[in-house]
């Protein structure tokens, strides 16, 4: 990698060039997260053919990929979504919403205000 520095007036610009690629941990869901998403996406909880979380995780680890697992569950009528991306996005959005703190609806006094 190479660090290039350019100065113009009193501003310095540092450019890092090279092939440094770092995968962000949150960029790609883990196998466990995908298995949870597929498990939660199954339509009817009372259907006897519904797969358990462990079965889905096992399928993912022993198949050619999560898309193949999605296609199998969809062909069995257990999942209604169009793509695996839809399944994961819906699960991710639901998970993020459930982790947000509940905001109080009370009015807040300005900082430094005294009663």
Is residue 33 exposed (0-12), middle (13-18) or buried (19+ Cβ within 10 Å)?
middle
pTM for the full predicted model: 0.58
Residue 68 in this model has a pLDDT that exceeds 80: yes
Convert the pLDDT of each residue in 30-43 to its tens digit: 889 999 999 999 97
| pLDDT for 107 | 46
């Amino acid at each position: 990698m190479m660090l290039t520095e350019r100065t113009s007036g009193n501003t310095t610009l540092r450019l890092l060039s090279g092939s440094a690629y770092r995968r962000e941990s949150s960029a790609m869901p883990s196998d466990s997260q995908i298995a949870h998403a597929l498990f939660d996406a199954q339509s009817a909880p009372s259907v006897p053919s519904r797969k358990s979380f462990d079965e889905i995780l096992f399928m993912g680890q022993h198949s050619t990929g999560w898309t193949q697992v999605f296609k199998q569950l969809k062909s069995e009528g257990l999942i209604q979504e169009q793509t695996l991306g839809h399944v994961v996005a819906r699960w991710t959005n639901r998970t993020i919403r459930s982790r947000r703190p509940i905001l109080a609806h009370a009015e807040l006094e300005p900082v430094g205000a005294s009663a």
